[in-house]
Amino acid sequence: MLKVAIKKRLKQFTLDVTFKMDDEIVVLFGPSGSGKTTILNALAGLVRPDEGEIVRDQEVLFQNKKVFLPTKKRNVGYLFQDYALFPHMTVEKNITYGVPKRTMPEFLQQWIQITGIQHLMKKYPNQISGGEKQRAALVRALAPQPRLLLLDEPFSALDSTNRLRCQDELQFIHRKWRVPIILVTHDEGEAIKLADRILYIEKGKIIKNKVKPKMKSQGL
Amino acid sequence: MATIDFHPLYLSLKIAVIASVVVFILGVFLGRVFARREFFGKSVLEAFFLLPLVLPPTVVGFGLLIIFGKNGWIGRWLLEWFHYQVVFTWIGAVIASIVVAFPLMYQSALGAFRQYDYRLENAARTMGASEWRVFWTISFPLAWPSLLSGLVLTFARALGEFGATLMLAGYLPGKTDTIPLAIYFAVESGHSEKVTFWVLVIVAIGFSGILWLNQWNRRKNKQFQSDSLEG
């Protein structure tokens, strides 16, 4: 169970959101600049909220001015909007960066098989396509076995075929590995397809919290 | 040519290497901090760092004399506690080179750490990396080409430093006679053969340094371009 109640003053408005989630896919949906990425950054510990708290199971990640767990200790997987693959490392080195001793455990080899990127291991990010980058970045985010997965517009740079494939892969991964996922998008179709719950965000506030239990697609 | 004393070459290289190492470490540390953090008084500090770049070297040398001279606040302390004097020593020449060359390295480091996406560092942090690991595996390798350019410029500047060095270290043959000082005093005393020799030496060092850097950059760029995905 993840409980989030945070406030942060931004330039245009004050971000003020409260929500709870289980091991489900929650989609943050709303226009650009509404504070969605700031919520992800606050959960990852890259931004410090002004007040509130973030609690995952019994673990306090943030609590007012008392607790601020640094990013490296939060065990959060984060897929950045433009993937943020390390350009000077091969795909393999990128993927194993967060794995102790930089090994390739069996579960990771499975994800590599599932996402079909095994032939890219020795390539550098500038040698692979957008869809391949997206899949490599997703596997990299999963590699440290995070207890919370944050995805910032992960499919926005992909063409429609790749987007559908990656969405299906994400649902498959979620079914296999019940980890809470928070996904940011401003594609309503994507939100409806992937979400167990959609939080509609506008100017830093949740204006609608919609549970969509029957909307999950059949996946792969 | 038989009368040429090679001490200036040895001394200049020694001073330039030591000054470059110190300036590199300082420049990389401060460049990284200043590229990533905002704090009160940052602009004033930055202006202070860059001051030696716009001041005549003699003014920098005079400032160093005030600080490191017998009555200067560091000079007096060194004399009282260690019975050591910086003025008229090769250490003085190192200090002059550090101060004059530092702005070049700082500027290069600042640009180097600003040129890549800082989210790459954040991505590493989300994967459990400590700040130390983030620096050595992400920040430093990505900034390295620009840092190397800065290092070559720093070395060249330290090697060619004249004004501040003369003010602080003076010209003592066999003790503080760097190549630029040797050239100046050889001209003064009409030793044209000596002048030609040292001019050729310093041009050769500077030219080969820049040539090597250009080749290195070109090789690096070529590798990236040929490997890039087309279309």
**In the predicted structure, residue B24 carries a pLDDT above the cut 50:** yes
**Is the confidence at residue A218, as pLDDT, over 80?**
no
Cβ contact A128–B229 (<8 Å): yes
Query: Nearest-5° angle of CA B87, CA B92, CA B96?
Result: 125
Residue B138 has pLDDT above 80, yes or no: yes
- Which of B127, B220, B227 should be substituted to probe chain A, the one whose Cβ sees the most A Cβ atoms within 10 Å? B127
A47: nearest CA in chain B? Answer: B122
Delimit the domains of chain A by residue range.
Answer: 1-73+148-214, 76-146
Mean pLDDT of B169-179: 92
pLDDT at B221: 64
Closest of B152, B198, B158, B208 to residue B9, by C-alpha: B198
Render pLDDT for A79-106 as a digit per residue (tens, 0 to 9): 998 899 999 999 999 999 999 877 888 8
ipTM for this model: 0.88
pLDDT of residue B231: 32
B145: closest chain A residue by CA: A88
pLDDT in tens, A151-191: 998 888 778 887 888 888 888 888 888 889 999 998 888 89
Domains of chain B by residue range:
7-227
Fold topology of A1-73+148-214: Rossmann fold (3.40.50)
Q: Is the pLDDT of residue B223 over 80?
A: no
Q: By three-state DSSP, how is residue B70 classified? A: coil
Output the CA–CA distances (angstroms, integers) from residue A171 to A10, A38, A216, B24, in the order listed.
33, 24, 9, 49
Instruction: Determine the pLDDT at residue B224.
Output: 52
Q: Tell me the fold of B7-227.
A: MetI-like fold (1.10.3720)
Cα–Cα distance for residue pair A93/A120, rounded to 1 Å? 11
User: Rounded distance, CA B167 to CA B87, Å?
Assistant: 9
Q: Distance (Å) from the C-alpha of residue A76 to the closest C-alpha of chain B?
A: 6
Q: Which two tokens stand for residue B194?
A: 């000596």
**pLDDT surpassing 50 at residue A220:** no
Determine what percent of chain B is predicted with pLDDT higher than 70: 94
Give the C-alpha separation, B117 to A97, whole Å. 18
| Cα distances (angstroms) measured from residue A110 to each of A24, A66, A117 | 22, 40, 11
Cβ contact B126–A97 (<8 Å): no
3-state secondary structure chain A: CEEEEEEEECCCCEEEEEEEECCCEEEEECCCCCCHHHHHHHHHCCCCCCEEEEEECCEEEEECCCEECCHHHCCEEEECCCCCCCCCCCHHHHHHCCCHHHCCCHHHHHHHHHHCCHHHCCCCHHHCCHHHHHHHHHHHHHCCCCCEEEEECCCCCCCHHHHHHHHHHHHHHHHHCCCCEEEEECCHHHHHHHCCEEEEEECCEEEEEEECCCCCCCCC
List of chain B residues whose C-beta atoms are within 8 Å of the C-beta of residue A127: 227-229
